């Protein structure tokens, strides 16, 4: 039978993700969405219509 010491009870397993790693992963995954949402209104305001849609296609290919 395995015994657990008091100090090991509140620790993460070895090689598991901690709070900092999960927070960083969520923020880095949301960064491209933030960039697109920030640039879209300006692109619609100053763009020429078809060129703005074409830009989305080009950026999609670059991100893949």
Say whether 47 sits in a helix, a strand or coil.
coil
Which residue is listed with tokens 């709070």? 19
Going by C-beta distance under 8 Å and a sequence separation of 6 or more, which residues neighbour residue 44?
52
Cα–Cα distance for residue pair 7/37, rounded to 1 Å: 46
Cα–Cα distance for residue pair 27/51, rounded to 1 Å: 30
pLDDT on residue 6: 61
The model's pTM is 0.45
pLDDT on residue 23: 94
pLDDT tens sequence for the chain (64 residues) = 566 666 666 776 777 888 898 999 999 888 888 877 887 888 778 877 777 888 888 888 888 8
pLDDT on residue 25: 92
pLDDT on residue 34: 82
Cα–Cα distance for residue pair 35/4, rounded to 1 Å: 47
């Amino acid at each position: 039978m395995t015994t657990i010491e008091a100090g090991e009870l509140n620790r993460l397993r070895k090689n598991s993700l901690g709070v900092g790693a999960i927070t960083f992963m969520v923020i880095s995954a949301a960064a491209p969405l933030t960039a697109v949402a920030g640039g879209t209104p300006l692109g619609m305001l100053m763009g020429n219509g078809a060129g703005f849609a074409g830009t989305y296609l080009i950026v999609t290919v670059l991100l893949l």
